[in-house]
Amino acid sequence: MSALILDGKALAKSREQQLHAAVGELLAGGGQKPALATILVGSDPASATYVQMKVNACGRVGMDSVRVDMPQSTTTEELLAVIDELNSNPDVCGILLQHPVPEQIDERACFDAIAIEKDVDGVTTQGFGLMAMGEPAFGSATPAGIMTLLKHYDIELSGKHAVVVGRSPILGKPMAAMLLNANATVTICHSRTVDLAEQVAQADIVVGAVGQPELIKAEWIKDGAVVVDAGYHPGGIGDIEKAGLEPRVAALTPVPGGVGPMTINALISQTLESAQKR
């Protein structure tokens, strides 16, 4: 057996062609050109790169982008004022606040200040609650991208035991809720789970979303499992150790080229959806 490679890069490229066509149809019908506003606070090189990748993706599908760069010294009040301005801007369909923000900023307050109809990154408490309850809402971009990837490759979720390793409010927790809504049986673990190896060993689907390089060992994962790695660390390694996995598991996301491209694609897709709803 050789693992099916869940190629997020190829899928994102294919979906961008569809999104470009959909933007064209929206404009031809007299609709508003979708525009994503990105907010970057500080000068972290990795965050700046991620923001630029999202801006570039907007351009590839024919959408506009509004980039807002703010200094490291920005206060919560200053950031809230910018978010309020973007909420009121009729040209902006979606708002992305790049995570993480400098430590002096109340990130949760700023996330929750984003208007629900413009929360295309799925970061608000209200959006999470609606999604978890199965109501219409934009899902957190990375879990939403993972769900699209699994659906594209016909990965069966109903009745399967999924173990999500990670509990962040924008990745682990919404990932677990989305899998639960898809009728999987879900266990949430994290870096302090005392029997992590035993929990992972029971999983039909393993999602690494803990943010620690190769915390999840290959030997823990059972034969035939589906392995989704949402981590990315210097050197191109993820949260899951890959040595020897490919011959044993049913499916596997590469790092890089698996989850990352689908995160951006979900963000762009949801920005278009926001424009279409208008």
* pLDDT tens profile 170-209: 999 999 999 999 999 999 999 899 999 999 999 999 999 9
Three-state DSSP state, 116: helix
What whole-number distance in Å separates Cα of residue 88 and Cα of residue 92? 8
Reply yes or no on whether 98 is catalytic: yes
- Please give the Cα distance from 211 to 46 (Å, whole number): 15
- For residues 203, 204, 207, 212, the Cα torsion angle rounded to the nearest 10 degrees is 40
Q: Which residues of the chain have pLDDT under 70?
A: 1
The residue extents of the domains of the chain are 30-116, 141-260
Nearest-CA neighbor of 121 among 148, 97, 91, 101?
Answer: 97
The answer to whether the 30-116 and 141-260 domains have the same CATH topology is yes
Write down the pLDDT at residue 222: 97
Given a contact cutoff of 8 angstroms between Cβ atoms, the answer to whether 196 and 157 are in contact is no
Which of 98, 118, 229, 242 is catalytic? The answer is: 98
Which one is catalytic: 7, 118, 119, 121? 121
What is the homologous superfamily of the domain 141-260 according to CATH?
NAD(P)-binding Rossmann-like Domain (3.40.50.720)
Domain 30-116 classification at class level: alpha beta
Report pTM: 0.95
Structure tokens at 238: 């993820």
Q: How far apart are alpha carbons 138 and 127 in whole angstroms?
A: 7
> Is the preceding omega at residue 256 within 30 degrees of 0, hence cis?
yes
Phi and psi, residue 38, nearest 5°: -115, 135
Q: State yes or no: cis peptide before 90, omega within 30 of 0.
A: no
Give the pLDDT confidence score for residue 1 in this predicted structure: 67
Where is 108: in which H helix or E strand?
helix 107-112
The whole-angstrom separation of Cα 54 and Cα 258 is: 16
